């Protein structure tokens, strides 16, 4: 079937949007592979997909607007606050009387950040000059396009972000010029932005970026609206801190959430659903620690303790994850893809951070 035939067969707007989104993502595979640490081949290598598993369909509610031919979508959040996505990563920008304030610079969006800004600036007769970049945290997948904006930009971030970027010594992520420790309110071009570091969560430096005059909170790498967390609970460095983050987020007044990933904005309902998803997994892992018997695994593997532990913990993880996968399939995208890996991380946190399931030798 040709592309034109495929388009002709797509009857509903949702089907067309899904097709366009898939097409754009296929074109973006090299950039996404690079972001994940893979090399980009000059000649695509053939791959045998025989035996690859099938997963549940993505709920339409998880999908965002289709990206354009250049691979991005830019939309208004509220008034002069905008967001940009390539369908997998997100950034935001605020147009002001003094210029543009950019929030994160994912390399997969790259030069499309300036294109999106240009598009909005041209339509609204405002400056397209980026004067400030606010960093959510130090990770390269969210900041690796910062260098594109040159040296005449004020970069703002947490004091720990500066320390970590100095350590990493990555020229694509210039260190912040301006830092703060706990809270900082920015007044730029008549606009107000509130930055807060309220304890560690995804990383030691991940901050809350609140736009009180735009009804918006930007909190990156905690809740990915409409989706379950990425592999191993978003690779969160502080698991208890990350579990607590949604409650902190919900304590702010906001309507719109910019989560840093995937193709749409989030809502307060999204945050509450994500919070319940994690709570359900925590119930499951605590039950697994109490109810899954280790005896058969250690009996089978004898002196090979790592094999026994591996299979025992796999059984615990499955015990915890299976009912959650069943409950959230069709509610959160990829519930059947990454829930088990998140369950394992939560299992270990409950065991090691909270001490639940520890056994004291008699």
pLDDT, tens digit (0-9, with 9 covering 90-100), for 64-73: 999 999 999 9
* Domain-located, residue 61: no
| Rg, Å, the chain Cα set | 22
pLDDT (mean) for 136-154: 98
Q: Is residue 19 a part of any domain in this protein?
A: no
- The parent domain of residue 319 ranges over 277-352
The mean pLDDT of the chain is 91
Q: How many CB atoms lie within 10 A of CB 223?
A: 28
Question: For the chain, what percentages of helix, strand and coil (3-state, to nearest 5) are there?
Answer: 40, 15, 40
Q: What is the model's pLDDT at position 358?
A: 82
Query: Quick count: other Cβ atoms within 10 Å of Cβ 309?
Result: 14
Are residues 281 and 232 part of one domain?
Answer: no
3-state secondary structure 271-313: HHHHHHHHHHHHHHHHHHHHHCCCHHHHHHHCCCHHHHHHHHH
- CATH number (domain holding residue 154): 3.60.15.10
Reading the block at residue 208, the tokens are 């809350």
For 28, other C-beta atoms within 10 Å of its C-beta total 20
Residue 329 has pLDDT above 60, yes or no: yes
Strand pairing partners for 85?
A: 73, 90
Report the C-alpha gap between 116 and 95 in whole angstroms.
Answer: 12
Cα distances (angstroms) measured from residue 42 to each of 23, 48, 107, 173: 20, 19, 20, 26
Residue 43 within a domain: no
pLDDT of residue 360: 84
End-to-end CA separation in angstroms for the chain? 69
15: left (phi over 0), alpha (psi -120 to 50) or beta: alpha
Q: What is the pLDDT of residues 216-251, one digit of tens each?
A: 999 999 999 999 999 999 999 999 999 999 999 999
Q: Give the domain-ending residue among 198, 233, 266.
A: 266
Same domain, 175 and 323: no
Mean pLDDT of 312-321: 98
Residues 292 and 259 in one domain: no
Q: Is 39 within a domain?
A: no
Strands 154-158 and 178-180: parallel
CA distances from 311 to 271, 296, 299, 337, 353 (A): 33, 10, 12, 19, 22
pLDDT tens digits, 192-225: 999 999 999 999 999 999 999 999 999 999 999 9
Q: What is the pLDDT of residue 45?
A: 63
- Helix-helix angle 335-352:268-291, to 10 degrees: 60
Q: pLDDT category, 118, cuts 50, 70, 90?
A: very high
Residues 226 and 316 in one domain: no
Site of tokens 């904006």 = 149
Q: Are residues 281 and 262 in the same domain?
A: no
Judge whether 92 lies within some domain. yes
Report yes or no on 322 lying in a domain.
yes
Query: In the numeric block, which tokens belong to residue 15?
Result: 């089907």
Lowest mean pLDDT among 2-16, 84-98, 105-119, 137-151: 2-16
Q: Which of 238, 266, 294 is a domain's end point?
A: 266
28-39: average pLDDT: 56
For residues 284 and 258, membership in a common domain is answered with: no
- Does residue 322 share a domain with residue 261? no
* 111 and 223 in a common domain: yes
- Evaluate whether residue 55 is within a structural domain: no
Give CA–CA dist 221/142, Å, rounded: 10
150 and 192 belong to one structural domain: yes
Whether residue 90 sits in one domain with residue 113? yes
In the sheet that holds 90-96, the strands lie side by side as 73-78, 81-85, 90-96, 99-103, 130-134, 154-158, 178-180
Domain count, the chain: 2
**How far apart (Å, rounded) are the C-alpha atoms in residues 244 and 228?**
16
In terms of domains, do 98 and 217 share one? yes
Question: Where does a domain end: 246, 266, 286?
Answer: 266
What phi, psi does 137 have (nearest 5°)? -170, 180
In a domain, 15, yes or no: no
**What pLDDT sits at residue 20?**
43
- pLDDT confidence bin for 177, thresholds 50/70/90: very high
Same domain, 109 and 188: yes
* Among candidate residues 219, 249, 216, 247, the one with its CA nearest the CA of residue 234: 219
> Could you read off the pLDDT of 256-309 as tens digits, one per residue?
999 999 999 999 999 999 999 999 999 999 999 999 999 999 999 999 999 999
Phi, psi of 91 (to 5 degrees): -140, 175
Beta bridge pairs of residue 185: 194
* Tokens of residue 77, six digits: 């959040």
């Amino acid at each position: 079937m040709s592309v034109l035939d495929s388009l002709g067969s797509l009857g509903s707007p949702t089907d067309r949007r899904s097709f366009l989104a898939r097409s754009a993502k296929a074109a973006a595979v090299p950039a996404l592979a690079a972001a994940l640490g893979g090399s980009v081949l000059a000649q695509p290598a053939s791959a045998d997909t025989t035996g690859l598993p099938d997963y549940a369909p993505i709920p339409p509610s998880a999908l965002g607007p289709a990206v354009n031919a250049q691979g991005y979508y830019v939309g208004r959040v509220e008034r002069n606050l905008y967001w940009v996505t390539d369908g997998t990563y997100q950034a935001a920008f605020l147009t002001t009387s003094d210029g543009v304030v950019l929030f994160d610079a994912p390399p997969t969006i790259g030069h499309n950040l300036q294109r999106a800004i240009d598009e909005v600036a041209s339509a609204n007769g405002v400056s397209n000059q980026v004067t400030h970049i606010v960093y959510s945290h130090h990770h390269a997948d969210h900041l690796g396009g910062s260098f594109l904006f040159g040296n005449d930009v004020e970069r703002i971030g947490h004091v720990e972000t500066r320390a970590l970027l100095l350590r990493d010594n990555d020229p694509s992520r210039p260190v912040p010029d301006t830092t703060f420790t706990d809270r900082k309110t920015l007044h730029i071009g008549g606009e107000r932005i509130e930055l807060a570091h309220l304890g560690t969560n995804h990383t030691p430096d991940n901050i809350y970026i609140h736009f009180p005059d735009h009804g918006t909170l930007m909190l990156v790498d905690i809740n990915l609206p409409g989706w379950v967390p990425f592999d191993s609970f978003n690779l969160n460095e502080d698991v208890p801190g990350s579990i607590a983050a949604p409650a902190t987020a919900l304590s702010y007044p906001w309507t719109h959430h910019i989560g840093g990933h995937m193709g749409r904005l989030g809502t307060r309902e999204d945050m509450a659903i994500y919070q319940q998803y994690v709570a359900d997994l925590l119930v499951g892992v605590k039950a697994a620690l109490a109810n899954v018997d280790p005896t058969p695994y250690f009996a089978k593997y004898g002196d090979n303790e790592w094999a026994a532990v591996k299979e025992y913990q796999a059984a615990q993880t499955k015990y915890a994850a299976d009912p959650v996968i069943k409950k959230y399939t069709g509610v959160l995208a990829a519930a059947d893809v990454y829930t088990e890996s998140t369950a394992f991380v939560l299992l270990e946190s409950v065991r090691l951070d909270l001490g639940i399931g520890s056994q004291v030798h008699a």
